[in-house]
Structure 1
């Protein structure tokens, strides 16, 4: 079985909430590694970009009328996505700490794991 076939089967078996949790886990792990290892700028930028892209996807999803989350929660997620984008630039430009990005992702993971 190819890796693509396995990944396709895995995503078909997971709920959207599980997929989001896994995505947050992956990007948060990359941010934690970047914080602990002080990687080269390109690797730091890659971790930040993956995190920013995840938040952009969530923001775009929350802006569609088909999204069934409460309007208030959708607005909060969009606001967080904007903050993540702005703060990520500060990390790259000014060397701001990664911890706030890691914290917000972990909070999202806690919310997604609540059943």
Structure 2
């Protein structure tokens, strides 16, 4: 099976929640690797930028008309996205630690995992 065929099959099978979980896990893993490697300044920017980009995208999607998430959840995601944007600037400038970004992402991953487990339990 070619790599493209594998990706097509995966996109058909994967739920949006599972895709979000995988993406947040990958980004958080990169943040942890950067922290553990002691990266700072310009060396840290690609990882910070990717995390900020994902949160900006999530916040943007939550602000679109027709988004079917509950209003309170949408507002919370937008709020976190705004916080990530501001806080990332502080981390990039060396004023704060990357640790809080990791903590927030881990909480989101746990929430997505909990939802996945609830859906799997309900389906059984």
Query: TM-score w.r.t. structure 1 length?
Result: 0.91
Does 2:74 align with 1:64? no
Larger radius of gyration: 2
The equivalent residue for 2:79 is 79
Q: Distance in 2 between matches of 1:17 and 1:46?
A: 25
Q: CA RMSD in A?
A: 1.5
For residues 19-59 of structure 1, the C-alpha deviation after alignment (integer angstroms, 9 at most, x for no partner) is: 00000000000000000002364441111111111111111
Distance 1:95-1:11 versus aligned 2 partners, 3 A rule = farther
Deviations 1:55-107 (A, max 9, x none): 11111110112211111110110010000011111111124211100000010
Counterpart of 1:31? 31
Q: Which runs of 5+ in 2 are unaligned?
A: 119-124
Match of 2:17 in 1: 17
Moved more, 24-33 or 54-63: 54-63
Structure 1 unmatched ranges of 5 or more: none
User: Size of the alignment, in residue pairs?
Assistant: 115
Residue number in structure 2 paired with 1:103: 103
